[in-house]
Amino acid sequence: MTASLEVSGLAFAYPDGHQALFGVDFSVARGERVALLGPNGAGKTTLVLHLNGILTGGAGTVKVAGLPVDRRNMAEVRRRVGIVFQDPDDQLFMPTVREDVAFGPAAAGLKGPELEDRVQRALERVGMAEFRDRPPHHLSFGQRRRVAVATVLAMEPDILVLDEPSSNLDPASRRELADILRSLDVTVLMVTHDLPYALELCPRSLILSDGVIAADGPTGELLSDEELMRAHRLELPFGFDPRSVPAAPARP
């Protein structure tokens, strides 16, 4: 399968000298759903911010659909990689849901019926079409998160990166979002501390620890390795046995 995302030898230090990444290597095939796991301070956010060029200047390379993430390709890379941040209020700032979802495509030059079709499709994909004229701040947290996903889907990305998508969701909203993510025909990289959610949605997981990939394999196998989990400060909810849960099916 063609790689959607290739990261090779990625190392990065912040201006204050803090080294966050020490040579990260992995690739994600088109259509894969992969969880990025790791303790706080492991470098997960730093890694994600390299995927569409928010952070640059380190060693190594990042390629999106074969395109190096550099200044020359930045516009195309940012179209192909959509990031959904943990707090939906970081992405929703317009008076209505429709205007929020239309913002990115309109800025890219879409207009008229083509823009309206793009907005409608994105809202339908997350089950929020009936709320298009509502102010985002009148929606529940779970609804706002779905609209935030729609703002990214409206750009028709190849890769969807989600930062803690299940955080602060009630059980019904958590399930609804899982159903949406399973239905999408895009590559998904999900950064999460919610290990059962990773097991439910992502057949494969990466463990990032101390700025390097410490493990890469089937999610159920990694979560069942007690020594590995302990070594990287990952803990399952009390009483949860990953071996009792069917593995997330890979996309055909």
Count the Cβ atoms, other than its own, within 10 Å of residue 69: 25
Report the chain's mean pLDDT, rounded to a whole number.
90
- Is pLDDT above 80 for 2? no
- Grade residue 252 by pLDDT with cuts at 50, 70 and 90: low
Give the pLDDT confidence of 178-221 residue by residue, as tens digits.
Answer: 999 998 889 999 999 999 999 999 999 999 998 999 999 999 99
Is there a contact between 51 and 12 (Cβ–Cβ < 8 Å)? no
Please state which of the ranges 30-39, 114-123, 147-156, 241-250 shows the lowest mean pLDDT.
241-250
DSSP string, 163-204: ESTTTT--HHHHHHHHHHHHH--SEEEEE-S-HHHHHHH-SE
Mean pLDDT, rounded, for 147-172: 92
Given this model, what pLDDT does residue 1 score? Answer: 54
The structural domains of the chain, ordered by start, are 3-237 (3.40.50.300)
